[in-house]
Amino acid sequence: MKTWCPEADSPRNVNPSTHFTRACIFTHSNVAFFMTDYVYVTFLATEGDLRHAEARHQETRGESYAKTLWMLQ
């Protein structure tokens, strides 16, 4: 799997409106879930709860990845 990260800034150092464009883009057929999860995280971040948003993203990534693999089989 290849990962492309334009910048390594922490989400805490970035304006919430730029979170999506600065997100690492995963170029792999099984990681489309990343986009929908990240939109939800960005929504939380706009409310000023960045710490919770990051934690929520970590919680949802594994679960969503499992769902995506199951759907593709």
- For residue 26, the cross-strand partners are 3
Sign of the C-alpha dihedral computed for residues 21, 24, 30 and 34 taken in this order: negative
pLDDT digits (tens, 9 = 90+) for 9-66: 445 555 544 444 444 444 444 455 555 555 555 555 555 544 554 555 555 555 555 5
Please say if the pLDDT value at position 70 is more than 60: yes
For the chain, the structural domain boundaries read: 25-73
